[in-house]
Amino acid sequence: PNQFMVTEYGDGLRRVLREEASLDEVYDFRDSGVFKDATNYPAIVIAEDEPDKSVREANDIRCVRVKANVEEDTGRELDDEIIAAVRDHRDDPGYSDEFIDVFDFSQGELGDSYWSLMPPDELKVFRKLERNQTDTIDDVTTGVFQGIRTGRNSLFVVEVLDTDIVRSDDTEQIVTVSPSGGSGEYKMETDLLRPFLQGDEIQRWRGEWSGLHVIYPYNLNKRGEEYTAHLLTTTQIRGYLPHTWEYLKDHEDILRGREGGKWEDSDQWWEYSRTQNLAKFELSKPIQAEICERATFMLDDTGSWYFTTGYGVGVKDQYQDLTNTLVAQLNSKALDFYLKHIAAIKAGGYYSYRTQYVEKLPCILSGSPDEFNDITDTVSDIVAAIDLKSKTERFPEAYLGDFDGDLGYIDYEWQTRRYPVNADIQEKTDGRFAVTAGRSDEITHPLIDQGDREEQKLRAQYVHAAVDGRNMKSGEQQTIAIPESQSGVEQLIESLETDHQTVEEMDIEDLEAEIDQTIYDLFGLTGDERDVVEDYLQVF
């Protein structure tokens, strides 16, 4: 398989081939599936023994690379076309069509690290990125760390019912929460709440956040350059955060019983089951997914975001203020072009963004901070746009923090699994309004029936906005907070509609293109060199 060229376990084979053989031809079929029974990224390497180092280094390797946009299973007819293209044009360096690239690559370019065989125009850009870097990602980071392990996410992870996102610096406020894996409502101080990402919610720039928060019962201390997280004591939580302590005490038996009763006799039964790296979460950082079609680095610029699936990237102290710029470069086309030449490919056109590849990426973080102002401003615009869109998807909870009127509550149990809810408003025969989804789900309530016909219709629109597009399981209980007054309903719907309009007017693709151009400028890429990057990423 071609994986030996870009993995650590292939180091020995690469070394033997480079130091003892003349590589005549390399055929890299990637994940194209052209061999019916071969699924492990086949490569054909033709080599002959060559003891003379000067001959080996002067040797040109004839390379044939199958393109990444032919990986779909389109039948043997396409497979035969690819094989025919390889057979007919293997002796034609510089040839390129919709299936393959044919080129020569100097064996002397192969070093001790991964093999990145590429045509001359790509190699020129690849080397220029290396030449113009001030650092590598490895130089400016402290390493990658895994997500938290609480031992009982169903209790430590909660839904906040009456405010938007709670960040690490949001303290001395009281919110209403419900355990994500249970029922009941509790008052809780915001001091220990952090936004929490689950599953595949890690996305470019920001997470596709569902609104969950995790209770973080630790405080952060710094000694010299080292940060440590210390579990809060009974006295600290009970004395300063009585609502949080009451919540923990209500679930004490379950927390003590985690992992077969590990905390049955413990005086610290509210600690996480895994405590490594906890301090790193409270610092600004990139958060990354490991297997992606393209670079997917999320920005945590306030040290607030927690997760279980995914990886955080620790940033050295002297570069903490440039975390925005670092994430912009990691998500840029220039660096993605570089990574896709050195990373292992996965089925379906996905790539591995593991540490062993990301740490080798070139970057530019040394220099005047003024050089990075444009990048920082544009990243802020992107993040603001994504955050606002996320807020609209969490109506009304995300809007209640700024509302000081009286609220009523509609409790509804979903009858059918709906991923997502496709809701509608229907007027019943008695003149009342109902919010419906399919045949089995119908939400009616006295709080919808309140007021004259126009107010009732408005309240139905409010409930529709609260459920439409949500992912709900059969039997799942949803509590919808709704203002008692008509003016309150109007206020929140108006805020939602204003935000919807703002989101529609923002073009994240245009903002990303601005960042790409700025980073091309940082690395000094010419127009032609930028075209090489863009053309490559259209295919790979």
Query: What does the alpha-carbon distance between residue 488 and residue 455 come to, in Å, rounded to a whole number?
Result: 11
Calpha distance 190→199 (Å, rounded) = 24
Reference 273, options 257, 261, 259; nearest CA is: 259
- Residue 349 is predicted with a pLDDT of 85
Give the start-to-end residue ranges of the domains of the chain.
2-117, 143-392, 397-505
Tokens 């080292």 -> residue: 226
| Position 346, amino acid | K
- 192 Cβ partners below 8 Å, 6+ apart? 215, 216, 217, 232, 241, 244
At 7, the amino acid letter reads T
Residue 446 CB: number of other CB atoms within 10 A?
9
Residues with Cβ within 8 Å of 312's Cβ and at least 6 positions away in sequence, in order, are: 144, 145, 146, 147, 277, 280, 281, 285, 286, 287, 288, 300
Of the candidates 93, 100, 76, which has an alpha carbon nearest to the alpha carbon of residue 28? 100
CB 395 within 8 A of CB 47: no
How many whole angstroms separate alpha carbon 510 and alpha carbon 308? Answer: 31
Instruction: Report the distance separating Cα 4 and Cα 8, nearest Å.
Output: 8
Please give the backbone phi and psi of residue 528, each rounded to the nearest 5 degrees, phi first.
-65, -40
For residue 26, the cross-strand partners are: 45, 63
pLDDT for the residue numbered 83: 87
What was the pLDDT predicted at 34?
67
Question: Can you tell me whether residue 181 is helix, strand or coil?
Answer: coil
DSSP 91: T
Beta partners for residue 229, in sequence order: 220
How large is the angle between the packed helices 527-539 and 333-342, nearest 10 degrees?
60
List the pLDDT tens digit at each of the 540 positions of the chain. 688 999 989 999 999 999 999 999 999 988 776 666 655 688 899 999 999 999 999 999 999 999 866 555 555 566 788 889 999 999 999 999 999 999 999 999 998 888 999 999 999 999 999 999 999 999 999 999 999 999 999 999 999 998 889 998 889 899 999 999 888 899 999 999 999 998 789 999 999 898 999 999 999 888 877 889 999 999 999 999 999 999 999 999 999 999 999 999 999 999 999 988 999 999 999 999 999 999 999 999 999 999 998 899 999 999 999 999 999 999 999 999 999 999 998 888 899 999 999 999 999 998 777 779 999 999 999 999 999 999 999 999 999 988 999 999 999 999 999 999 999 999 999 999 999 999 999 999 999 999 999 999 999 999 999 999 999 999 998 999 999 999 999 999 999 999 999 999 999 999 999 999 999 999 999 999 999 999 999 999
Angle at 324 between CA 323 and CA 326, to 5 degrees: 60
d(CA 509, CA 56): 46
Contact call for residues 465 and 497 (beta carbons, < 8 A): no
Beta-bridge partners for 186: 177
Contact indicator for 189, 316 with CB cutoff of 8 Å = no
In this structure, the number of other CB atoms found within 10 A of the CB of residue 145 comes to 17
Q: Which pLDDT value is given to residue 183?
A: 82
For residues 7 and 65, what is the distance between their CA atoms, to the nearest angstrom?
18
- CA angle at residue 226 from 222 to 232, to 5 degrees? 45
Residue with tokens 């939602």: 496
Q: What is d(CA 436, CA 244) in angstroms, rounded to the nearest whole number?
A: 37
